[in-house]
Chain A
Amino acid sequence: MVNLKKYNGVLKLFVIFLTLFFTVSCSQKNYTLTKIEGKQLPVNEKVAETPEIEKFIAPYREHINKDLDNVLAYSPETLEKSTGKWQTTIGNLMADVCLQRGNAVFKAREKKDLDICFLNHGGIRAILPKGNVTTRTAFEIMPFENNLVVLALKGEQILEMATYIIKENKPHPLAGMTFTISKDNTAKNILVQGKPLDSNKTYYVATNDYLANGGDSMNFFLKHTQKFDLEYKLRNVLIDYFKEVDTIPVIKDIRITEE
């Protein structure tokens, strides 16, 4: 028989040693961050495609493209928001179309007429290119899901609106109203539907729901006395308008002038 007594002693010591060794080396020490490397990888045509992903996307893409590429109207010129200090061709079109189509819904529902349409310059997300106008054009100009809403505002708030436009110094889309910016940078000769502004009168102003809730710091909208959600998406307003007309007008009339 082999005597294992002496050997057991060695083993015991060894086990204790191992335990200590692992405790010290593993659980006590955390990992220390020693090096960081940061870079940006461009995703472009030099990167290969993934066939499975292409296969997954294809049917969705085909369906959308077929729907979007339907030609609805024709535009003789490119309408864009960057040419014009106080009004632009695309802004005028947007505001006019929303005023006209919004009014049809508002009149049918509330038996009242819209006076003004006021939108934000930033809300126009693309140009309306010369040539065929499709559903896609409407999606590009107005990708957001905003609804057209009507707010009842006092004349006082209409004046605040004019002041806001002057301060912002941007060609925000405006229809149904004109005014002059005087030399001291205030609004004068404010006309609504061709009549001088009456500070006590209630005006019905069409805008989008984002701005109606004070978006882009349009705080005058928050002072409305009544609010009507037309449940009509701005994009659908455009699509319905494109379906209705053959040729898009280039609207260049002056709504805001400087003295």
Chain B
Amino acid sequence: MKRREFIEKTAASTALLSLGLSLSSFETNDIKHLTILHTNDVHSHIDPFPADDPRNPNQGGVSRRAALIESIRKENPNVLLLDAGDIFQGTPYFNYYGGEIEFKLMSTMKYDASTIGNHDFDNGLDGLYAQMPHATFEFICSNYDFTNTVMNGLVKPYKIFNKNGIKVGVFGLGIEMSGLVDKKLYKETVYNDPVEIAQDMTQLLKKQEKCDLVICLSHLGYKYRDNDTKISDLKLAELTQDIDLIIGGHTHTFLDKPTIVQNKAGEKVLVNQVGCYGINLGRIDFYFDKNKAHTNQGRSIIV
């Protein structure tokens, strides 16, 4: 009799204890922290600018960027490292080695993905294809159709990264090649409308795949002052919804801080670009809470 009582009591207290434990363990995991690091238009700038450079003395350099990234990874291992295109062209490293060093170094730094910039076609589709074995990261571009080219199957329209329980959907948008890139370089690559593709991608990533965060890697350019009809990152942000962050490139735009744009649904979108040549590293930290109800009211943006 006494023995049974003891077992019952123990069972009950174990149940309570495990319940308590599971509750408390949930609480500590409730806030998740994701760090997005990004570059754009590095243009083969492997070495820092020399000390006597008139515009960017002592700026940039892959070796320093790698150290910076590593120190951030130590502080928060939950990092997504992205590039918005134009990895190629700008220093003799590219002319002599065709992009091999750029891709190998980005792989060493553990880049997760890059989109494709217009200058990444500079050695033609064959030149890009030849360097693909040196890249361990993904190439993501949703509006270029490479079906009838050697690049077929090597560029993904999107990718979902699972970062410590956070689902991050990344898609990419490239600029119109016609008039900008020689046809003999991009050959049968087809350019599709960025806004339409962005709508398809957000529908898929946010609505169907239920990603916690949707990022667009864009090489469309930040904005065009003298061309109101040309699609840009600021325009894209206004014309779409369900994109949380646009990481841009192409226009080599230096911003003091990320731009906040109201999207089609009246929600806030972050648009960022960090100039060019690896002079800066962009950092956006996202904090997620599991306990909060799913509303947009409590979202604070500090830039």
Query: Which A residues are closer than 8 A to B by beta carbons?
Result: 2-3, 6-7, 10-11, 14, 18, 21, 25, 29-45, 47-50, 52-54, 56-57, 60-61, 63-64, 67-68, 136, 139, 143-145, 209-210, 213-215, 217
Q: Which of B11, B65, B104, B303 has a CB less than 8 Å from the CB of A38?
A: B303
How many residue pairs, one in A and one in B, have C-beta atoms under 8 Å apart? 190
Q: Which residues in window 136-160 of B have CB below 8 A to A?
A: none
Contact A41 B283 (CB under 8 A): yes
Contact A42 B280 (CB under 8 A): yes
Given the complex of chains A and B, what is the CA–CA distance between A49 and B69 in angstroms? 11
> Could you tell me the distance in whole angstroms from the C-beta of A101 to the nearest C-beta in chain B?
20
- Measured CB to CB, the nearest residue on chain B to A208 is B182
Contact B92 A136 (CB under 8 A): yes
Across the A-B interface, give the 10 residue pairs with the lowest CB-CB distance, nearest first: A31-B288, A35-B287, A47-B64, A38-B258, A49-B63, A50-B66, A37-B285, A38-B303, A53-B63, A32-B292
Q: Which of A3, A10, A30, A37 has a CB less than 8 Å from the CB of B212?
A: A30
16 contacts between A and B (CB under 8 A): A2-B3, A30-B294, A35-B301, A36-B270, A38-B270, A38-B282, A38-B284, A38-B303, A39-B283, A40-B280, A41-B68, A42-B280, A43-B60, A50-B70, A53-B108, A57-B46
Known: A34-B289, A38-B257, A144-B122. 10 other contacts (CB 8 A): A3-B4, A11-B11, A31-B166, A31-B290, A33-B288, A34-B287, A41-B282, A56-B108, A57-B46, A143-B89
> Could you tell me the distance in whole angstroms from the C-beta of B252 to the nearest C-beta in chain A?
13
- Measured CB to CB, the nearest residue on chain A to B179 is A214
Bitwise, B270-290 to A at CB < 8 A (1) or not (0) is: 101010001111111111111
- Among the stretches B93-101, B218-226, B235-243, the one at the interface with A is B93-101
Task: State the majority secondary structure of interface residues on B.
Answer: mixed
Contact A2 B280 (CB under 8 A): no
> Could you tell me the distance in whole angstroms from the C-beta of B29 to the nearest C-beta in chain A?
11
Contacts of A209 in B (CB 8 A): 182, 184
Contact B180 A215 (CB under 8 A): yes
> Could you tell me the distance in whole angstroms from the C-beta of A195 to the nearest C-beta in chain B?
33
Contact B299 A36 (CB under 8 A): yes
- Whether, in the assembled complex, B67 has its beta carbon less than 8 Å from a beta carbon of chain A, the answer is yes
Given the complex of chains A and B, what is the CA–CA distance between A6 and B64 in angstroms? 67
Contact B294 A29 (CB under 8 A): yes
- Whether, in the assembled complex, B265 has its beta carbon less than 8 Å from a beta carbon of chain A, the answer is no
Given the complex of chains A and B, what is the CA–CA distance between A47 and B89 in angstroms? 25
Assuming the A-B contacts A31-B289, A68-B92, are A43 and B257 also in contact, with contact meaning beta carbons closer than 8 angstroms in the complex? no
Q: Which of A33, A39, A53, A57 has a CB less than 8 Å from the CB of B287?
A: A33
Q: Which of A36, A52, A68 has a CB less than 8 Å from the CB of B301?
A: A36
Given the complex of chains A and B, what is the CA–CA distance between A21 and B283 in angstroms? 37
Given the complex of chains A and B, what is the CA–CA distance between A64 and B97 in angstroms? 10
Assuming the A-B contacts A56-B105, A143-B89, A213-B182, are A42 and B213 also in contact, with contact meaning beta carbons closer than 8 angstroms in the complex? no
> Could you tell me the distance in whole angstroms from the C-beta of A122 to the nearest C-beta in chain B?
12
Contact A47 B182 (CB under 8 A): no
Total interface residues on B, CB under 8 Å, equals 81
Contacts of A14 in B (CB 8 A): 15
Contact A34 B92 (CB under 8 A): no
Q: Which of B179, B255, B302 has a CB less than 8 Å from the CB of A36?
A: B302
> Could you tell me the distance in whole angstroms from the C-beta of B43 to the nearest C-beta in chain A?
9
Contact B3 A25 (CB under 8 A): no
Given the complex of chains A and B, what is the CA–CA distance between A36 and B95 in angstroms? 40
> Could you tell me the distance in whole angstroms from the C-beta of B133 to the nearest C-beta in chain A?
17
Q: Which of B3, B122, B282 has a CB less than 8 Å from the CB of A40?
A: B282
- Whether, in the assembled complex, B32 has its beta carbon less than 8 Å from a beta carbon of chain A, the answer is yes
Contact A215 B280 (CB under 8 A): no
Assuming the A-B contacts A36-B270, A45-B58, A210-B182, are A10 and B302 also in contact, with contact meaning beta carbons closer than 8 angstroms in the complex? no
Given the complex of chains A and B, what is the CA–CA distance between A164 and B85 in angstroms? 32
Q: Which of B61, B101, B180 has a CB less than 8 Å from the CB of A43?
A: B61
Contacts of A60 in B (CB 8 A): 93, 96-97, 101
Given the complex of chains A and B, what is the CA–CA distance between A124 and B293 in angstroms? 57
Contact A49 B67 (CB under 8 A): yes
Given the complex of chains A and B, what is the CA–CA distance between A39 and B210 in angstroms? 27
Contact A47 B93 (CB under 8 A): no
Contact B12 A10 (CB under 8 A): yes
> Could you tell me the distance in whole angstroms from the C-beta of B227 to the nearest C-beta in chain A?
11
- Whether, in the assembled complex, B266 has its beta carbon less than 8 Å from a beta carbon of chain A, the answer is no
Given the complex of chains A and B, what is the CA–CA distance between A139 and B92 in angstroms? 7
Q: Which of A18, A32, A47, A145 has a CB less than 8 Å from the CB of B67?
A: A47
- Whether, in the assembled complex, B62 has its beta carbon less than 8 Å from a beta carbon of chain A, the answer is yes
Contact A41 B8 (CB under 8 A): no
Contacts of B122 in A (CB 8 A): 144-145
Contacts of B46 in A (CB 8 A): 57, 61
> Could you tell me the distance in whole angstroms from the C-beta of B136 to the nearest C-beta in chain A?
15
Contacts of B4 in A (CB 8 A): 2-3
Contact A43 B64 (CB under 8 A): yes
